[in-house]
Amino acid sequence: MADDPDDVFSRAHHHALAFRRGLDDSPQRPTADYRVMLDRFAQTLPDAGQPGPAVIDDLMARIRPGLAAMVGRRFFGWVMGASHPVGVAADWMVSAFGQNAGNHVASPASAAAEAVTAGWLLELLSLPREASIGFVTGATVANFVCLAAARNAVLRTADWDVEADGLFGAPPITVLIGADAHATVFSALQFLGLGSNRVLRLPTDAQGRIRPAEFAERAKAISGPSIVILQAGQINTGAFDPFAELIPAAKAAGAWVHVDGAFGLWARAAPNYAALTQGIEGADSWATDGHKWLQTPYDLGFAIVRDAEAHRRAMTIAASYLPAVAESERDPSHYVPELSRRARGLPAYAMIRHLGRGGIADMVERHCRLAARLADRLRQVEGIAIANDVVLNQIAVRFGAGLADEAADELTRRTIAALQAGGVAFAGGAQWRGRWIMRLSVISFPTTEADIDRAADAIIAAWRPIRDAN
């Protein structure tokens, strides 16, 4: 069954365009739930095959109602970029070329584009130029890779080779982490044998920032191999740990400092917001995403490690059949867990080429300004309170301000459901400090001021009948 590639590729192109063009006039939420979608996909295992174009058409016919407008203009759920068309086109080419981009001998082009993009990222994010970058699937794996390098390096200072000898009998590692760190950082600790619970949780302030005085107190007790985990961009508040105070204290105590900056690290690319990250360059490793603020399609994240050798030692795969490389040559697989891998760097290369340093700065600043505008609109309405300092692009909203906590929780959940049902804009719910909030993240490249005003109107329209009935 040899299809002409033109027939299958052009079907994919046609459907992709139709999907994108239909987004503005369709609900931002999926219109079918998981159960319905299981039914739509359910078929017996096919015995005979089907021509390629028909497979693509059939896929589109089944899938549409179960898709959210995550690339839409008024989708503010979780923290999600909008898969920019330029990134998507580059990603299609990655698949079309079908390169196994693990090493630079087999696929020189993929490795070279990634090496150049790594240099650009360090410049954009103002991080030490000697740092290495692993192109991974997202911030979860980036945190994992960075913390693997950290584990390697701090145990080496205690003369322990964790890559060769494992953790059995190793000196204990002290891990300090903010109480409001992202759940995926705890997963990374779990994967690494460091334990998601065997950590010292540092107390945080109302915005989720580690308190320097308490940190200094704890830091005094650090001895032996230790890792301190900080955060740029708390998921609910957008807050940044006070790096300029914390990092020197952690380094003085001999710790490796890692920063989870999945979206917040991009504040560094925006002159008017870079001050939020002041001192962050003093850390040892940084995790961030491409599929959030850089608007690449899923999935892309960056594991950035100052000590490139520690990074490489933690991830290197040595096998007799792999081309031997000079120490100075960068293989993409040296800095990630995978051997076989797609040329993940190309969409990042394309997005940076497309937007440029200035375009990225403008986009980040525009999103932050729009978030402030949305928060201002909402806080003027009776019964609505903004629960965070809107310092970046994240907004936490409470409905039923002034009522008892449980009552406000209930009204907040109902307002979220009403907004989602309306379909004009999408925001999700989250728990913050034990209470329900509506969480909005302004991080999609197509979002304009008019979209923000429409979203504000939709949220207020969802809230008013709920308020008036109570």
Beta pairing partners, 259: 230, 286
Q: How far is the CB of 212 from ligand PLP (least distance, A)?
A: 20
Q: How far is the CB of 79 from ligand PLP (least distance, A)?
A: 5
213 to each of 64, 246, 252, how far by Cα in Å? 52, 9, 15
Strands (E), 51-108: none
104 vs 341, which CB is nearer to ligand PLP? Answer: 341
Please report which helix (H) or strand (E) contains residue 303, including its range. strand 301-305
Please answer whether residues 342 and 172 qualify as being in contact, where contact means their C-beta atoms are separated by less than 8 angstroms.
Answer: no
DSSP conformational letter for 267: G
Q: How far is the CB of 286 from ligand PLP (least distance, A)?
A: 12
Give SS3 for 430: strand
235 vs 267, which CB is nearer to ligand PLP? Answer: 235
Q: How far is the CB of 140 from ligand PLP (least distance, A)?
A: 3
Q: CA-to-CA distance for 273 and 255, rounded, in angstroms?
A: 27
87 vs 301, which CB is nearer to ligand PLP? Answer: 301
Q: What angle is formed at CA 69 by the lines to CA 424 and CA 232, rounded to 5 degrees? A: 100
For the record, the structure tokens of 149 come out as 């390098």
Q: CA-to-CA distance for 470 and 468, rounded, in angstroms?
A: 5
9 vs 191, which CB is nearer to ligand PLP? Answer: 191
Q: How far is the CB of 289 from ligand PLP (least distance, A)?
A: 5
Strands (E), 211-264: 226-231, 256-260
260 vs 451, which CB is nearer to ligand PLP? Answer: 260
Q: Which residue is nearest to ligand PLP (CB)?
A: 138
Q: How far is the CB of 430 from ligand PLP (least distance, A)?
A: 12
Q: Is the peptide bond before 299 cis (omega within 30 degrees of 0)?
A: yes
Q: How far is the CB of 141 from ligand PLP (least distance, A)?
A: 7
Sequence-separated contacts (24+) of 382-390 with Cβ below 8 Å: 382/467, 383/411, 383/463, 383/467, 384/460, 384/463, 387/432, 387/435, 387/437, 388/207, 388/236, 388/237, 388/238, 388/239, 388/432, 389/207, 389/237, 389/239, 390/238
127 vs 294, which CB is nearer to ligand PLP? Answer: 294
Contact residues: ligand PLP, CB under 6 A:
79, 138-140, 182, 184, 233, 235, 260, 262-263, 289, 301
Q: How far is the CB of 439 from ligand PLP (least distance, A)?
A: 11
140 vs 152, which CB is nearer to ligand PLP? Answer: 140
Q: How many CB atoms lie within 10 A of CB 117?
A: 24
241 vs 260, which CB is nearer to ligand PLP? Answer: 260
